[in-house]
Amino acid sequence: MRLLTFTTRAQPAMPRLGALLDGRIVDLAAAQDLKPGSPALPRTMRQLLALGPAGLNRVRELLDAVKACRSELPSGTLLTEAGIRYLPPISDAEKFLCVGKNYRTHLAELEANDLIKEKPGEPTGFIKLNTCLTGHDADVERPSTVKRLDYKPELVFVIGKPAYGVKEKDAFDYVAGITILNDLTCRDTQKAEVASGSRFWTSKNAPGFGPLGPCIITMDEVGDPYDIWVTCSVNGEQRMRVNTSDQIWKLPRIIEHFSRLVPLEPGDMFSTGAPGGVAVGKPNAEDLYVKPGDVVECAFEKPAMVLRTRIVAPTR
């Protein structure tokens, strides 16, 4: 199942929950008219995930009702991509934690470019702010002060129920699904931030520097999350293709590490690091940093999903 948050052209200020069905978007609020008397679904993804498996099962029941409907569907139930604007699947997470230095290939790139002091002995992380997030197919401004903007496709796990003191063997019981983050990074300032030991990186938290989505793929459709090919293309040219098996710290270790002291809540997210192949790691890096006019596509090959971002010039 693929869940999303979106707005419509008719109501651009009202976020709505949806699910993909045969290439179209089901507006879950509208679909509830097919199940009169059933409890209303929440209005946000965080609230839906807080219901646990029962909430996801209610969505599945609505999708089954849409597929089984032999008469006219309630108005606005089925939408096309052309009629919506994707928002981040979750835009109000209490915690969006990003694990750094977590792919062997990327670690080698960081070492070669003096962007790492030492190899970590345990999972390390920084915070991605909600204010930097944007959705699929969005325009992202490259500030005029930024000359070296790098692309970084990352596998994100979404927490599905409260987790505190979780052991590795139980970790996936707390995961609702996965999505994609393009952790856009300003390389102009990152070296100084690394040197200072900062955990709040302005290089990663400017407005729009967190394209996320387009959907949350629930774990029943994921298969093995450590056999996913992650790719990134710029203007149709593939820049990287790396398998998630290259990760150093797998999710069970990550959840056990962070949940020792930090309570995790439904809707919290873990981004699990950038694969090797980013611009900064290549000899012709200056030619590869993204600029206004570029279209960046981060993707999973299977389960297939693409996150598209257009880089644009600043408007102010």
Q: What is the pLDDT of residues 112-137, one digit of tens each?
A: 665 666 667 788 888 999 999 999 99
Kindly report the pTM of this predicted structure. Answer: 0.94
Give the per-residue pLDDT at 113: 62
Identify the pLDDT of residue 115: 61
Sign for the CA dihedral angle at 156, 161, 162, 168 comes to: negative
User: Tens of pLDDT along 50-92?
Assistant: 999 999 999 999 999 999 997 789 989 999 999 999 999 999 9
Read off the pLDDT of residues 140-154 as tens digits, 9 standing for 90 and up: 999 999 999 999 999
SS (H, E, C) 12-72: CCCCEEEEEECCEEEEHHHHHHHCCCCCCCCCCHHHHHHCCHHHHHHHHHHHHHHHHCCCC
The pLDDT value recorded for residue 300 is 98
pLDDT digits 0-9 by tens, 156-206: 999 999 999 999 999 999 999 999 999 999 998 876 666 555 555 678 899
The pLDDT of residue 72: 86
Q: Is the pLDDT of residue 234 over 60?
A: yes
Query: What is the mean predicted confidence (pLDDT) over 10-15?
Result: 92
Tokens of 280: 């900064």
Average pLDDT over residues 40-44: 94
User: Residues for the chain: how many in total?
Assistant: 316
Residue 291 has pLDDT above 70, yes or no: yes
pLDDT tens-digit profile of 245-286?
A: 999 999 999 999 999 999 999 999 999 999 999 998 899 999
The amino acid sitting at 308 is: R
Q: How far, in Å, are 26, 49, 57, 239 from residue 52 at the CA level?
A: 20, 5, 9, 38
For residue 116, give Cα distances in angstroms to 112, 120, 193, 249.
9, 9, 11, 17
- Which of 175, 140, 177 has the alpha carbon at shortest distance from 305? 177
pLDDT at 118: 65
Q: What is the structure's pLDDT at 193?
A: 62
- What pLDDT, on a 0 to 100 scale, did the predictor assign at position 46? 98
Distances (CA, A) of 280 to 119, 158, 261: 18, 28, 34
Q: How confident is residue 108, by pLDDT bands cut at 50, 70 and 90?
A: confident
Question: What domains, with CATH codes, occur in the chain?
Answer: 2-86 (2.30.30.230), 93-312 (3.90.850.10)
Q: What is the mean pLDDT of the chain?
A: 92
The pLDDT value given to residue 198: 57
